[in-house]
Amino acid sequence: MNARRWLAHLALLGLAAPAAAAPLRVVVSILPQRAFVEAVAGPHARVEVLVGPGRNMHTYEPTPKQMAALAEADLVLPIGVPFEHAWLPRLAAANPKLRVVDLLEAAGVERLPMIGRAHAGHETHGEGELDPHVWTDPGLVARLLPPLAAALAEADPAHAADYTAGAERYAGELAALDGELRSLFAGLAGRRFLVFHPSWGYLAAAYGLVQVAIEHEGKEPGARALASIIEQAKAEGIRAVFVQQQSATASASAVAEAIGGRVVALDPLAPDYIPNLRRSAQAIAEALRSEP
């Protein structure tokens, strides 16, 4: 008896067909995380992202509707972005049974200090501030996959094998991307690239580059600091200023104009994680290779 006839037979008997298990309800903070979770979970999870396109993860506040969705989620996966510090404790207090898994902690990922403004040939760091942009290093993302698969399997043991297979498959894709980026940045070790907001520190650390930031602790530079940045960029032959699409670019445009360069928009929060990281790396490498 084929499936259609079997279902019809059950209906005639007044019996309901067995219902498929509902997908896990997983809440993540940013769009790149959705790519990770969907790659590992496949059809077994429905992923909701808090910070949508064009939103600033540093200043974002979840809506009441999102807070309600968080309370009903099967799994919440923070990734260390700033707005989580305010709402996660409140959410956990309101719903002690909520399952929140910190994948960075589970994977033993140590976060870098946030790169501050360039000055006198070196970079400063925000006091006590840690860089949240770990996903710009595909090697670090690969380290998150085993604890991600384990968290999904604990919430949904019936599909544990699928989660393990998904994690292994995606790890292979990330390893291939890492190989591409190593080839792309070959011969550029120690080279400096100028950014408005310091979003690419982990990528720089992974591939031997140096990120130099215009913004410092979320603030645009004053006139004296801006003049120092321009002087340094001219001395080093820098001709590109990379900006994040979610950030203001007035100072970046001023620097680019003063050095006879250009502003290049990159988006570390784009949803198409692997293609976007490849595009971003290619843009940075192209700028470095065109500079003296």
pTM of the predicted structure, to 2 decimals: 0.86
Q: Which domains, and CATH codes, for the chain?
A: 24-110+137-178 (3.40.50.1980), 188-290 (3.40.50.1980)
d(CA 283, CA 292): 16
Q: What share of the chain is helix, strand, coil (3-state, %, to 5)?
A: 50, 20, 30
- Exposure class string for 195-222: b at 16+ Cβ within 10 A, else e: bbbbbbbbbbbbbebbbbbbbbeeebbe
Query: In whole numbers, what is the pLDDT of the chain averaged over residues?
Result: 86
Please report which confidence band the pLDDT of residue 194 belongs to, taking 50, 70 and 90 as the band edges: very high
- Cβ-count burial of 82 within 10 angstroms (0-12 exposed, 13-18 middle, 19+ buried)? middle
* Other beta carbons within 10 Å of 176: 11
The dihedral over CA atoms of 70, 75, 76, 79, expressed in degrees to the nearest 10, equals -160
Give the model's pLDDT for residue 254: 87
pLDDT in tens, 37-58: 999 999 999 999 999 887 888 7
**Contact of 40 with 55, CB cutoff 8 Å:** no
Among 113-117, 177-181, 223-227, 243-247, top mean pLDDT goes to 177-181
Contacts of 156 (CB under 8 A, 6+ apart): 21, 24, 44, 74, 163
Percent share of the chain, pLDDT over 90: 62
